[in-house]
Structure 1
Amino acid sequence: MHLPSFLWLWKIAAWSMGLSLLAYIMLAVTGIMMWQARNSQSMPSFPGFPASRGGVRSLHYTMGISMVSLVLLLLAIGIIGTLGHFGSLGHSSHLIAGLIVVFLVLISAVSATQINPSRPWVRTLHITVNIILCAAFAWVSWTGWTVVQKYLP
């Protein structure tokens, strides 16, 4: 099988991880803004988006879709790169950390689509999963750095 250069895959993964973390931070900021809007009469604005709950919500959803896409791209790169380089999976705790991040991101995304005033527990689930996701991102970043050290000469 003809695979791309592993260094090229590492570069794509590094950019994807950086952009995933940026999306996570933007999701936290816009999530806090929506929480503030729910608990007050004024809506904070975000540059380039209308000062309405719908504008911030739109940005929040856009960043969420972006983060899900980037995390799934990272999963694919990790599987392809590891299988291509080692011939099998499970050489470090990075696989477990990555799968946990993917799982948490997907739970967060699904729960986001289910938030409804009649189901307030879903919002609590969404927020709790995203707080846990912060620790999982830190773990996968640390284990990823150790994996990258194997690829570098």
Structure 2
Amino acid sequence: MIELSPSVKFGLNFFHPLLMWVLLALSLYAAYLGLQVQRTRNAQGDEKKELIKGRYNIKHYQIGSIILAVMVTGAIGGMAVTYINNGKLFVQPHLLAGLGMTALIASSAALSPFMQKGANWARMTHILLNFVLLGLFTWQAITGVQIIQKILTKA
């Protein structure tokens, strides 16, 4: 096994939280885009023509794809750093919620082919899963800050 210097190990502690805060902001932007897609779908006439120009559906799909990849990779990375630095994972609510979030985002993304075919049940499920995901993500951000505070007090 490769032995990392203490300063590298310490610095790795901050990569996951920073990445997740950026991802939370990106997720809020994706939610905004999703609401714009819904507005476009429900609009009529000139308003609909104007909203279509925003290409919100394409942006939402692209941002969502990036979020999926970064969240899964970030979750694995967070666990890897914890294991590297401690020789074990701490099975606590932060880890369990993070694993649940990974399953939620994968499930939400898996609904895309059904939504593209116009399945309203898939659209509603996608929206519900993503609202739950945003709620968990906000809670994760708070508990993540608490974990960082513990790491800093031990340093």
Which interval holds the TM-score relative to the shorter structure? 0.7 to 0.9
Paired residue for 1:95?
95
TM-score normalised according to structure 2 size? 0.83
Does the 8 A contact of 2:17 with 2:144 survive in 1?
no
**Identity of matched residues, %:** 25
Q: CA deviation at 1:117?
A: 5.0
Partner of 1:57: 57
Q: Which runs of 4+ in 1 moved over 6 A?
A: none
1:115 is paired with a residue whose SS is helix
The match for 1:15 is: 18
Which structure has the larger Rg over C-alpha atoms? 2
Q: Deviations over 1:20-44 (max 9, x none)?
A: 1121111111111110111112245
The unaligned stretches of length 5 or more in structure 2 are: none
**Aligned to 2:53, what secondary structure does the other structure show?**
coil
Q: Deviations over 1:41-100 (max 9, x none)?
A: 22455xxxx715xx2111111111111122122212211111112211134321101111
- Output the CA distance in 2 between the equivalents of 1:87 and 1:120: 46
Cα distance in structure 1, aligned partners of 2:40 and 2:3: 48
Counterpart residue type for residue 141 of structure 1: A
| Correspondences of 1:19-38 after superposition (within 5 Å) | 19-38=22-41
Aligned AA for 2:71? V
Which structure has the higher relative contact order (CA within 8 Å, separation 6+)?
A: 2
- AA aligned to 2:129 is V
Supply the distance in 2 between the matched residues of 1:147 and 1:39 (Cα, whole angstroms). Answer: 43
- State the Cα deviation string for residues 101-133 of structure 1 (Å, max 9, x = none): 111111111112321455210001000001111
Corresponding residue of 1:114:
114
The CA RMSD measured in Å over matched residues stands at 2.0
Distance 1:28 1:10, change over 3 A: same
For 1:12 and 1:131, the matched residues in 2 are separated by 25
Matched length: 147
Kept in 1: contact 2:24–2:138 (CA 8 A): no
Q: How far apart, CA to CA, are the structure 2 residues paired with 1:6 and 1:142?
A: 23
